[in-house]
Amino acid sequence: MTMITRRRTTRIAASLAGLAIAGLAAGASLAAEEKSVAITQIVEHPALDATRQGVQDALKAAGWEVGKNLTWDYQNAQGNVATAAQIARKFVGEQPDAIVAIATPSAQAVAAATRDIPVVFSAVTDPVGAKLVSSMEKPGGNVTGVSDLSPMDEHLKLITRITPNVKRLGVIYNPGEANAVALVDLVEKTAGQFGMTVEKAASPKSSDVLTAARSLVGKVDAIYVPTDNTVVSAIESVVKVGQDADIPVYAGDTNSVGRGAIAAVGFNYYDVGVQTGEMVAKILAGAKPGDIPASTVSKLELYLNPGSAKEMGVTIPEAVIADAKEVVK
């Protein structure tokens, strides 16, 4: 080998080594930008599904996109609290950069499983009562999120606007879900202001919803379905009873109006998800969850379903229809 050849070989080897080092550095940089988010949801129904989509869209808007620089692991507990606990333990073992927990049982399961991994709850009615945070303003620890506490006075006011003769209000709920118990307590505290009494019907499982609804026939003038995931997941059963018995069915979430409830004033759960996703994005950028105040959603929208109302023997006044964000055709 000549001296010139040896020099050329040395230069090529040095260049290749330089490229390899540069490639490793670039790969390390990309790896540093990649994040993982695990998301657990207690049950699938349109409101919670919209929440999940809102989270993902907000992350994408912030520059975190699944398949590019974000790993997204979604698990659904199928309404089973024990399964929610299993999912929580699985996620904690995988050590994602953040865990999003949709609905109270899933949030409680994750919060109990980790004190280190950032946890962002969504669609939780009473985060303080559920012992997820010590206060909304200063959550502390590793948990923050977005509450969907229902504006109960607005819900009951809507019932009186459409059906002013309602005096006995039926409420179907899962007594085993902290979220649902808190809502029923709120209904009972608020109902007296509108001249109503409350008749409760328990539904521990989604398969019990139809029986619970039937138990209210003859006892109530209207049925109110709160944002109880067990009941909302089977709201069609309540609607069927309402149509058969001419009992108007109202909902605590606007997504249920498209499924047959005659009216609801509340949040768009997609917006709840977007607000949640914005919190997650802050955490992925380095913020600590305990420093991010937990929040509620203030924007209320009115959804109506005149067709379903007619099948329950109710005509929605034109003045109410004029205020609606959306009227289901």
Q: Is the pLDDT of residue 304 over 90?
A: yes
Task: Report the distance separating Cα 9 and Cα 4, nearest Å.
Answer: 9
Contact 183, 155 (CB under 8 A): no
* pLDDT value for 11: 43
Query: pLDDT category, 178, cuts 50, 70, 90?
Result: confident
- The DSSP secondary-structure symbol of 66 reads B
The per-residue pLDDT for 50 is 96
Angle at 316 between CA 161 and CA 303, to 5 degrees: 85
Q: What pTM does this model have? A: 0.78
Q: How far apart are alpha carbons 247 and 254 in whole angstroms?
A: 19
> In degrees rounded to 5, what are phi and psi of residue 302?
-105, 125
What is the gyration radius of the CA atoms in the chain, in angstroms? Answer: 25
Phi and psi at residue 31, to the nearest 5°: -60, -35
Q: How far are the Cα atoms of 156, 184, 326 from residue 152, in angstroms, in the given order?
A: 6, 10, 20
The mean of the pLDDT values for the chain is: 91
Walk me through the domains of the chain, giving residue ranges and CATH numbers: 35-148+268-296 (3.40.50.2300), 152-266+301-327 (3.40.50.2300)
Structure confidence at residue 247 (pLDDT):
98
Give whole-number Cα distances, 105 to 29, 179, 263, 309, in Å: 38, 8, 27, 32
Q: For residue 18, what pLDDT is reported?
A: 44
Supply the DSSP string of 130-177, one letter for each residue. TTS-S-SS---TTEEEEE----HHHHHHHHHHH-TT--EEEEEE-TT-
Q: How far is CA 182 from CA 35, 60, 187, 230, in A?
A: 35, 34, 9, 14
- Categorize the per-residue pLDDT at 70 as very low, low, confident or very high, splitting at 50, 70 and 90: very high
Looking at this protein, which amino acid is placed at residue 292?
I
Mean pLDDT confidence for 268-276: 94
Tell me the longest C-alpha to C-alpha distance in the chain.
105
For 21, the token pair is 């080092």
Give the residue carrying structure tokens 């059906």: 163
pLDDT, residue 31, reads: 44
The tens digit of pLDDT for each residue in 39-57 reads: 999 999 999 999 999 999 9
pLDDT tens column, 141-156 = 999 999 998 889 999 9
Q: How far apart are CA 263 and CA 268, in angstroms?
A: 14
* Residue range 154-172: mean pLDDT, rounded: 98
